[in-house]
Structures are given as C-alpha cells and as structure tokens.
Amino acid sequence: MTLDPSEKKQIIMLFVDTLMNPTLQEAIKNKKAPAFQFFIDNGYNIPNVVSPFPTMSVNVDSTLLTGVYSDQHKVPGLVWFNKKENRIINYGGHVRELKKLGLKQSMEDIFYNLNHNHLSKKLKTIHEILMDQDIQTASINTLLYRGNQSVQITFPFLMSLITGMRRKIFAYAPNVFSYGAMTKMNPSKRHSYFWQKYGFNDKFTANELKYLIEQDMLPALTIAYFPDLDQRIHKKGRMDIKGIEKVDRQLQSILNTYPSWEEALSNNIWIILGDNGQAWIDNDRNLALIDLRKLLHTYQIPKLKDGVSSSDQVILCANERMCFIYTLDSKTIPQKELAKILQRDDRIDVIAWEKENSIIVTSGIQDGQLIFRPEGDFIDEYGQSWFIEGELEILDLSINKNKVSYGSYPDALARLYSTFFSHEGDYLVVSAKPGHEFIAEGSPTHVGGASHGGLHEQDSLIPMIVTGTDTKPKNLRILDLKDWILSLI
C-alpha cells in the first residue's frame, strides 16, 4: 500500500561527527546518555556501519549525499593534490597549513569549491534528486549540502577581513538551508562569534533544528550536523564519554521541543549516526607520529608556502592516519621504490599503489604483497566480485571457497580501490596502524588522544540508531544510505 503524502513521516537525520558505538555504550551504561538511550529503546541500533575511505568527513559526507565512493564523487579526502591546478587542496586541517597554502584560496575551497567545483557535477545529491521532484529538504551545518536553490552566503566582517574572502557569495543549496552564522534561519538567536566557530557547533545546530520544529517547517528530509564530539575525542581519546554526554544534552533539548519525547517519534523517522570512528594514538610523541618528510628525506618535497615547482619530486598530503604520496615523475621515481622505503616502518600497515587497473598492496608489518582488481572469481559479502592474488593477511582477508570475508579492514577492497580513481595523478596510499598518525608540514597532531583517516576498523565503524521504521539499508555501509533514505521518502 502506498501512503498518502500527508501520512508519510518526515526524516530527521542527525549526523554526529565521530560517534562510536563503544563510547556510546559506555555512556549509556553510566546513565550519561538518556536521549540516546530513548532513541535506541524505541528503535534499533546498528553498531558497525562502514564509513568510506579515507575516513575524513568531507569524503564521508560526499558518499552519504551521492551514494557512491570517491572514484565517482571525486572528493578524495581532506587534503589532496590537484594535478590540473598544480596545487594542494586542504578543506580545513590545521590553521598553520591553511595560512601557508593561502587563506583566501583555502576559504574558497572550503566554502565554495568543495560543493560546487570538486564534488562531481555528473552526480545528483540526495537534495537535488528530491528537489527535482518538488520535495523539500533541509541542511543544517553540513559540510556538503549542494542543492538546486540559489542562496546567498554572507561571511562575518572579521572573517572576510582576515582571509580576504569577499563578504557575499552565491551557492546552490536545499530549500531550507543553515550554514553557521553565514546563513541562519532562527532570527531570535544572536549572531555567533569567532570563538564559537561562527555557528559551526552543536548548540547552533540544535537551535536551528528546534526552530524548524517549533515553526512546523520540517521538510521531508532534514540533515543536521553536530561537529563538537570530533574535537573532544581527538584530544581526550576514544573512550571519552563526556563528549557523548554533551551531545546528549543537545538531543534532550531537541526532544523537549515536543510536548513529550514520545510525541517526537510519532510523525518522524529519526536517524542518528556517526561519520567516522577514531583510532587511539600513543602517548609517546616520537612513537605516535610518522614523519613522512624524514622517511622520504632523499627526495625534493615542496614547502607549502612555495607551491609546487618543476624541481619537486614528491608531494605529501596527510589526512591524519592516511596519506596520499604523489610522485611527480613516476618514471624516475617508481612508486615501488617509495613503497620499499615505507615498508621499513612497522607503524605503516597498508602501502598501496595502482598499476594497470590493479591495486598492489604491501605493508610495514606483513611480508609479501597482495594484488587485486574488480571482476574476478571471488565474491565478497557485499556482492562485489574480485580478482585476488597474494598474501591475504596484508588486508586481513579470509577466503572460503570463493567467498571473501573482511577482518580488521571492513570493505577493504572497494574502499581502497576507489581512492585510486578519485582524482588524477600518480600516488601511493598509506594507512597507519592504530596508535599512530602521519605528519607532513603543518599537520595537526593528536598525541595521547585519537585520530582518523585510516582504513582500520577503529577509524571505519560507526553506529546508526533508527526509530520510526523497521527497514534497513541493503548493506551496512554509508555507501548504501542514500538509496535507503530515498525509499523511505
């Protein structure tokens, strides 16, 4: 039976950066998360949804909105080298990186190019698909938001002054759009200041969502982004439940907007999920940080402020626990040569490069190599077929007859393969063992805390809590959520 449109439930998706199931369960056990507990008790919790790789928010959000991996949506990670423009793109690492790359250019990449130039125009986002059907959607504080409606984004005077960004830009967004202090809906709330991240914080997100609820303005789909937990986990470590407690207070305030918490469930489907996990980082700085500049010191590596010149040989784009390592002349510096150097470091568990449509994988931990490519005799748990040859232990694969099972690296073959077709260039992809992260010039560090970006399950598994429907996506991956959400609408 098809529901009358007036009977269909509105979908409210709360995207909580770095929500992880072990931390969430610990908070619930200590009675620090009553709102999370309420949603779980009235729905279901999937503890192990797989995030895309690299496990960085811009890549994850792109996959959520488009339903494809980076080989198709073309947002490779937080930091990557644009071969066409001969420059490094950084969507918001450490401020010292952004300064050296040029604040104005970095701000344009973050606030405009990410959505309108780098995210593939060959694909429609979930907002664009629904808006084409005259179905309204909302985006609150999300990094990726592209829709069909022309909107004006106004930057605060101080931000414009410091960065050189023009005060106003035009973008394409959903019908209902909130983007920090730049474009907000709730007129009663004061402007957010720079020390409040210009509105890119949990309280601002919750206030904007509450305004939609109070004004009866919720569209068919609302995606709201809660960023604060990520920074807390970075500093305090994987099991810091204080961050969960703070998010929960915002969820309580949203539920309290309704006459009762039960009423909040009556006409809505609630989906609460993380975007990536974080792996623990060692307390010993010398052990925790893998300095790629030292490992590859015999090669000419460009300084960020100087840009890329013809004399440079290798470019480093560190995404915390993952890194793209580009060779500017693969004939004089074969990727295999770099891989041999990287193999000497037993903190690097995955070292991969592409050759003739196959991916070659070695490791600083395991001997030998693994070669794989799509369309072979082996079928994984997601129905994907693969040719596989070599040492299975490198990616912790198990094969029983022709069935492939994944261990510590969920959906490893598709996630790793997609990164090599996400953008142009000759490059290696490396991922660090838990306890460690990569650094290049100006990279953020998280010694004694936690970090993400890597292929490992600690970076990759996130929970998803659902109320209002018993249905589930085809597979337990963020990759599969778009089609499932569209089926609910």
What letter does residue 178 receive in the DSSP assignment? E
Q: In what order do the strands lie in the sheet with 137-140?
A: 44-50, 461-467, 268-274, 10-16, 221-226, 137-140, 176-178
C-alpha pair distances (Å), 322 with each of 53, 281, 377: 9, 13, 30
Q: Give the C-alpha separation, 145 to 472, whole Å.
A: 24
Q: What is the pLDDT of residue 51?
A: 98
Find all residues with CB under 8 Å of 273, minimum gap 6, and list them. Answer: 13, 14, 15, 16, 19, 49, 462, 463, 464, 465, 478
Model pLDDT, residue 302: 87
Q: Report how far residue 436's alpha carbon sits from residue 283's, in angstroms, rounded to the nearest whole number.
A: 10
419 neighbors 56 (Cβ within 8 angstroms): no
Burial class (CB in 10 A: 0-12, 13-18, 19+), 261: middle
State residue 197's pLDDT score: 56
What pLDDT is attached to residue 366? 92
d(CA 104, CA 101): 9
Taking every pair of Cα atoms in the chain, the longest distance, rounded to a whole number of angstroms, is: 69
What confidence score (pLDDT) does residue 193 get?
47
SS3 category, 446: coil
DSSP 319: E
Strands 279-280 and 450-451: antiparallel
The pLDDT of residue 186: 72
For the question of whether the overall pTM of this predicted structure is more than 0.85, the answer is yes
pLDDT at 194: 46
Alpha carbon 447 to its chain centroid, in Å, reads 21
Q: What is the DSSP letter of 65?
A: H
Kind and range of the H or E run holding 286 = helix 285-288
DSSP 113: I
Q: Work out the angle at residue 30's Cα, subtended by the Cα atoms of residues 25 and 33, and round it to the nearest 5 degrees.
A: 65
The predicted pLDDT at position 199 comes to 64
Q: For position 4, what pLDDT does the model report?
A: 42
pLDDT at 192: 52
Cα Rg of the chain, angstroms:
22
Phi and psi, residue 441, nearest 5° = -70, 120
**67 CB burial (10 A radius; 0-12, 13-18, 19+):** buried
What distance in Å separates the CA atoms of residue 32 and residue 25, rounded to the nearest whole number?
A: 10
- pLDDT on residue 10: 95
d(CA 18, CA 23): 10
Which two structure tokens, joined as six digits, stand for 347? 């903190």
- pLDDT means per 10 residues in the chain (489 residues)? 56 97 97 98 97 96 98 96 92 71 77 93 97 96 94 75 75 90 68 55 93 95 96 94 97 97 95 97 97 94 86 94 92 90 97 96 96 97 97 97 97 98 96 96 92 98 97 96 96
Which helix H or strand E contains 460, and what residues bound it? helix 457-460
Tokens of 12: 């409210």
Mapping DSSP onto H, E and C, the string for 240-271 reads CHHHHHHHHHHHHHHHCCCCCHHHHHHCEEEE
Residue 111 in contact with residue 29, Cβ under 8 Å?
no
Residue 477 DSSP one-character state: B
* Domains located in the chain, CATH noted: 10-75+119-281+455-488 (3.40.720.10), 285-448 (no CATH)
**Distance, CA of 146 to CA of 416 (rounded, Å):** 26
Cα 90 from Cα 103, distance rounded (Å): 10
